[in-house]
């Protein structure tokens, strides 16, 4: 029996291997990952960058002993006829099923000076993709290239860590793929208030050690240049193998490539025209494939994961368009802007449900709207109350309904957290260990902290009651 070989050692590979064991897969499971450490939660790297989390705290739960886990081992070739893969350390692994979970790599813009003649990043230039990338930055100003979600998060994190930070973005609006112009302006104001210097509508024209020259001739001091310029699905392993690859490796609703023995999940896979870029999607696909490979599976149906950019102290959520179809011009658009308080919202509704949108600056509205979107439930009649967070669904005082999902990554409800608290998990770390809440994208950490306080207050009040 040869079993499943997983090429890649990120969150998708980890969740798949754990799922296969949990669902009683009968064969051997081998995970070969190129990084020198077992899978960790890449989505939490922003917290390493801002100094709130040590890189050693990113680890995902240890895989069951039944899984053979190879670290620092790159899969270098696939022989589809003999059904074997070759590894960089010279071994050959046979498979019945090969799963590609090779993730994505940073996109490096073609700016003179960013890379050396041999194609490596020049001194002082960094990407933000691996735990190794997030080692402490040297003193000195940092220039962030790219104003998408990762760029905004990174600039935010750098300021928290006391770095002088400038952000350069070619579009006039930050996060323009996810926000309208109003939302972008609010986020830009947040960053400016935090001390980030914005250069919007500008490109880096050249880098030499210590400085970035912009396309309008401005010179920015740059102890470090941080590339937040997007990612590219890592498909090198199977390019030229005969499998169909567009942006990612093409898979069908069973997450299967054109070869019935090869599947692909996570950031390297392209399903229904979309390449994954979120850990939620990677985990969703890993879970679906574990079920499929153990004979329990329905075809994979993408869920409705929300994006929660990590800007601690300022909440926002982006709701990507749900399902196919034009994203603008159809449906009813509801928007709200409260510039003075740095908050705004825009929802596109279809059939009384949220199709897409974003909520910025109002934690209560972020929570309430995320729930409505994720569950695809009808919006309440009083939309103004919903968007100002005043509809009472969650008043920020720990009064979440028991069935409310707090941690979307791990599907942990308010009730599960309460039960864990009553079983002795009395702080956020203990609740995380007991329920896995906060160990996904980490964006629920503040809610979990609030709940923790609320549970403690409740217990004290009950104890004090005559
Ligand atoms: C800074 C940052 C913040 C993020 N924040 C969020 C967030 O808040 N929410 C969210 O949902 N998502 C977030 N993401 C995205 C999320 O981390 C990814 O979507 C997720 O990691 C994808 O998981 P994966 O396992 O498919 O790929 P990856 O995490 O990329 O893992 C792939 C692994 O496979 C290895 N590999 C590649 N090729 C080979 C090979 N040939 N052989 C062996 N191993 C190989 C790679 O070295 C890597 O370790 C963030 C990403 C970054 C970088």
Give the integer Cα–Cα distance in Å for 31 and 106: 23
What element of type H or E holds 142? strand 142-145
% of the chain beyond a pLDDT of 90: 64
Structure tokens at 43: 């989505």
- Return d(Cα 330, Cα 416) in angstroms, integer: 39
Q: Does the Cβ of 266 fall within 6 Å of ligand 1?
A: yes
Least confident of 197-211, 324-338, 376-390, 425-439: 324-338
User: Best mutation site among 37, 73, 74, 103 for ligand 1, i.e. most ligand atoms within 8 A of its Cβ?
Assistant: 103
Between the CA of 298 and the centroid of ligand 1 the distance, in Å, is 25
Q: Give the relative orientation of helices 428-435 and 414-422 as an angle to the nearest 10 degrees.
A: 110
pLDDT of 328 reads 52
Q: What is the pLDDT of residue 158?
A: 94
- Strand pairing class (75-79; 84-87): antiparallel
Average pLDDT for 6-12: 97
Nearest residue (CA) to ligand 1, atom 28? 103
Q: Is the CB of 106 under 6 A from ligand 1?
A: no
Q: Does residue 75's CB lie within 6 angstroms of at least one atom of ligand 1? A: yes
Residue with tokens 């709207």: 369
Listed range (35-49, 76-90, 186-200, 322-336) with the worst mean pLDDT = 322-336
User: Measuring from atom 37 of ligand 1, which residue has the nearest CA?
Assistant: 102
Residue among 17, 60, 102 whose CB has most ligand 1 atoms within 8 A, to mutate: 102
User: How far apart are the CA of 428 and the centre of ligand 1, in A?
Assistant: 25
| Residue to mutate, 10, 17, 289, ligand 1, most ligand atoms under 8 Å from C-beta | 10
Q: Which of 20-29, 106-115, 155-164, 404-413 is predicted with the least confidence, judged by mean pLDDT?
A: 404-413
Nearest alpha-carbon partner for 405 in 415, 395, 394, 392? 415
Task: Count other C-beta atoms under 10 Å from residue 116's C-beta.
Answer: 11
> Residue 106 in contact with residue 229, Cβ under 8 Å?
yes
Q: Which atom of ligand 1 is nearest to the CA of 265?
A: 26
Lowest pLDDT segment from 1-5, 314-318, 353-357: 1-5
Residue 276 alpha carbon, nearest atom of ligand 1: 19
130-134, 232-236, 304-308, range with the lowest pLDDT: 304-308
Q: Is 126's C-beta closer than 6 angstroms to any atom of ligand 1?
A: no
pLDDT in tens, 25-48: 999 999 999 999 999 989 889 888
pLDDT band at 449 (very low <50, low <70, confident <90, very high): confident
Q: How far is the CA of 350 from the centre of ligand 1 (A)?
A: 33
Which tokens is 322 given?
Answer: 């749900």
CA dist., res. 113 & res. 227, Å (int): 13
Q: What's the CA gap between 374 and 360, in Å, rounded?
A: 17
Q: 254-294: per-residue pLDDT in tens?
A: 999 999 999 999 999 999 999 988 998 999 999 999 999 99
Q: Which domains does the chain have, with CATH numbers?
A: 4-105+232-294 (3.50.50.60), 125-227 (3.50.50.60), 316-388 (3.30.390), 405-463 (1.10.10.1100)
Compute the distance from residue 221 Cα to the ligand 1 centre, in Å: 30
Pick the residue with more confidence: 229 or 46? 229
Q: Looking at ligand 1, which residue's alpha carbon is closest to its atom 29?
A: 10
Distance CA 421, CA 437 (A): 12
| Distance of CA 44 from the midpoint of ligand 1 (Å) | 11
The residue count for the chain: 466
pLDDT value of residue 395: 42
Q: Is the CB of 408 under 6 A from ligand 1?
A: no
CA distance 302 to 10: 20
- Say how far apart CA 245 and CA 325 lie, in whole Å: 23
Work out the mean pLDDT of the chain and round it to a whole number: 90
Residue 361 has pLDDT above 80, yes or no: yes
Best mutation site among 101, 175, 276, 279 for ligand 1, i.e. most ligand atoms within 8 A of its Cβ? 279
| Of residues 143, 194, 141, the one with CA closest to residue 163 | 141
Instruction: Give me 53's structure tokens.
Output: 């989390």
Indicate if the pLDDT at residue 212 is higher than 80.
Answer: yes
- Please tell me the distance from the alpha carbon of residue 445 to that of residue 417, in angstroms, as a whole number: 12
What is the per-residue pLDDT for 414? 85
What confidence score (pLDDT) does residue 105 get?
Answer: 97
What single string gives the DSSP state of each residue in 76-107? EEEETTTTEEEETTS-EEE-SEEEE---EEE-
Q: Which residue CA neighbors atom 50 of ligand 1 most closely?
A: 43
Query: Is the CB of 267 inside a 6 Å radius of any atom of ligand 1?
Result: yes
Instruction: Assess contact for 202 and 216: CB atoms under 8 A.
Output: yes
């Amino acid at each position: 029996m040869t079993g499943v070989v997983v090429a890649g050692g990120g969150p998708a590979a980890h969740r798949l291997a754990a799922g296969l064991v949990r669902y009683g897969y009968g064969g051997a499971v081998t995970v070969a990952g190129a990084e020198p450490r077992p899978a960790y939660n890449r989505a939490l790297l922003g917290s390493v960058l801002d100094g709130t989390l040590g890189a050693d705290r990113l680890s995902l739960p240890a895989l069951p002993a039944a899984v053979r886990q190879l670290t620092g081992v790159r899969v270098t070739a696939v022989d589809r006829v003999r059904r074997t893969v070759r590894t960089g350390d010279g071994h050959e692994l046979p498979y019945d099923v090969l799963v590609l979970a090779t993730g994505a790599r940073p996109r490096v813009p073609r700016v003179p000076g960013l890379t050396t003649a041999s194609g490596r990043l020049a001194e002082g230039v960094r990407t933000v993709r691996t735990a190794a990338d997030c080692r402490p930055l040297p003193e000195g100003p940092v220039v962030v290239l790219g104003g998408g979600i990762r760029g905004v998060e990174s600039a935010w994190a750098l300021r928290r860590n006391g770095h002088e930070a400038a952000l350069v973005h070619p579009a006039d609006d930050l996060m323009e793929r996810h926000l309208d112009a109003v939302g972008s302006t609010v986020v830009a104001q947040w960053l400016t208030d935090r001390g980030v210097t914005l250069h919007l509508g500008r490109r880096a024209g050249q880098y030499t050690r210590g400085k970035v020259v912009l396309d309008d001739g401005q010179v920015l001091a740059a102890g470090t240049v941080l590339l937040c310029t997007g990612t590219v699905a890592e498909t090198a392993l199977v390019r030229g193998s005969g499998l169909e690859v567009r942006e990612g490796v093409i898979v069908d609703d069973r997450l299967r490539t054109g070869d019935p023995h090869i599947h692909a999940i996570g950031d390297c896979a392209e399903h229904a025209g979309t390449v994954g870029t979120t850990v939620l999607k990677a985990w969703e696909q890993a879970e679906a494939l574990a079920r499929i490979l153990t004979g329990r599976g329905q075809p994979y149906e993408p869920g409705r994961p929300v994006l929660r950019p990590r800007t601690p102290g300022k909440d926002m959520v982006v709701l990507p368009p749900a399902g196919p179809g034009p994203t603008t011009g159809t449906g009813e658009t509801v928007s709200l802007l409260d510039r003075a308080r740095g908050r705004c919202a825009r929802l596109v509704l279809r059939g009384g449900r949220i199709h897409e949108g974003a909520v910025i600056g109002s934690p209560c509205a972020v929570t309430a709207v995320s729930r409505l979107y994720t569950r695809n439930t009808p919006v309440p009649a009083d939309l103004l109350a919903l968007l100002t967070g005043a509809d009472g669904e969650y008043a920020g005082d720990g009064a979440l309904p028991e069935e409310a999902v707090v941690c979307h990554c791990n599907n942990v409800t308010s009730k599960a957290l309460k039960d864990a608290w009553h079983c002795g998990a009395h702080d956020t770390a203990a609740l995380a260990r007991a329920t896995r809440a906060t160990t996904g994208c980490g964006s629920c950490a503040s809610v979990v902290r609030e709940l923790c306080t609320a549970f403690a207050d409740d217990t004290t009040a009950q104890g004090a009651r005559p």
